[in-house]
Amino acid sequence: MKRKLEPGIMFEWSYTVPERATVPQLYNDTAFCRDMPDVLATGYMVGMMELACLHGMMPYVDWPREQSLGTMVHFSHLAPTAPGMTLLIKGEVTEVDGRRVCFRVEAWDEVERVCEGTHERFIIDPARFTQKVAEKVAKAGA
């Protein structure tokens, strides 16, 4: 029997920053980005924050028949992180309203806090969602 997803649930997730997650590597097809500092790209960091929340939810949903998608991110990127450093992401469920789940989340590297903010996800039925995407693609003529 699955435990109930509810406010107050806390979780942690660790992730070592790969070279491909830095600004020059992630955006290597954009010339001016190749000259930027070799640090964790904000866009990649946002993805890691989302994945930490998803990972924190998994014990409380019928994975993979229930999944979730991010619908809102509000993060502040506070400090740079070099490739090879490990992020420790800590989160808490702050609200559950039907299929909508809200989180408070922050990330630390070995030295300091590098990110903080909030995130919202919606629990989905992946088969139904995939069908809607297929209908949209057909409608667009793609």
| Active site positions, annotated | 42, 50, 77
Binding residues for substrate: 70, 121
Strands 67-77 and 10-16: unpaired
Considering only CA atoms, which of 14, 31, 15 is closest in space to residue 23?
31
- The one-letter amino acid at 2: K
CA distance 13 to 22: 20
Binding residues, by number, are 70, 121
Half-sphere exposure of 11 toward its Cβ, with a 13 Å CA cutoff?
A: 24
Residues 6+ apart with CB under 8 A from 25: 19, 38
Residue 123 tokens read as: 């629990």
Q: How many CB atoms lie within 10 A of CB 109?
A: 18
